[in-house]
Amino acid sequence: MAFYRITFRKCPGCGFAFDSSLFGLSSRLGPAAGSCPRCAKVVATGRREWSDLAFADRLSFGAVSTFYAVVFGWICGWFARNIVAMHAGERAPTDTFSASDPTFRIVAVVAALLVVMTQVWRVLRSNHRAAELPRVVRALPYFYEASLDFGLQMKFLLVPVLVYFVADVLER
Ligand SMILES: [Zn+2]
């Protein structure tokens, strides 16, 4: 049984995966269409600009963003605490949630704020795009390119995992 589920959104023309989401969760914010970076076909992304989102969708954006902030804060805090314990030659903490630990608290709060700032930035960018008349259909990004609208969950998760493994390797 898989305890994670990744859904890819693909170009109907060539099958290129331009977006991904975990557990079907999505903020639904982003350009509504874009051209496929592989075959140049213009595809619908399933996303909407902020100005086109209904009130319920905006509420859902706020709820999903809050959930991301809490989960990402917790993951980063937990990894940071483990790295500190590893560096001190201690055994890895067995409890997974430790709000009293200063490392956990600081890193968790900073990571959660990073998510909040990213989401606010995405809304501002969306409004900026929506103000362009006529609206420009841009090329969708490849996975490795900087984009804050597509496949963001995996990119955010990759960072603490990579930092942890680098720290693990350095300690050996
Ligand atoms: Zn394509």
- The model's pLDDT over 93-149, given as tens digits with 9 standing for 90+, comes to 666 667 778 889 999 999 999 999 999 999 999 999 999 888 888 889 886 666 888
What's the average model confidence in pLDDT over 148-152?
88
Q: Could you tell me the distance, in angstroms and rounded to a whole number, from the CA of residue 140 to the centre of ligand 1? A: 10
Residue 1 has pLDDT above 50, yes or no: no
Q: Is the pLDDT of residue 34 over 90?
A: yes
Q: How far is the CA of 58 from the centre of ligand 1 (A)?
A: 29
For tokens 């998760």, what's the residue? 157
Report how far ligand 1's centroid is from the alpha carbon of 159 (Å): 28
pLDDT at 83: 87
Inform me whether the pLDDT recorded for 61 exceeds 70: yes
Q: 164 CA distance to ligand 1 centroid (A)?
A: 35
Mean pLDDT of 65-78: 94
> Domain residue spans in the chain?
6-170
Å from CA of 41 to ligand 1 middle: 6
Rounded to the nearest integer, the mean pLDDT of the chain is 88
| Cα of 29 from ligand 1 centre, angstroms | 21
CB-based contacts of 93-101 (< 8 A; 24+ apart in sequence): 101/77
Ligand 1 centroid distance, CA of 142 (Å):
11
pLDDT above 70 as % of the chain = 92
The model's pTM: 0.85
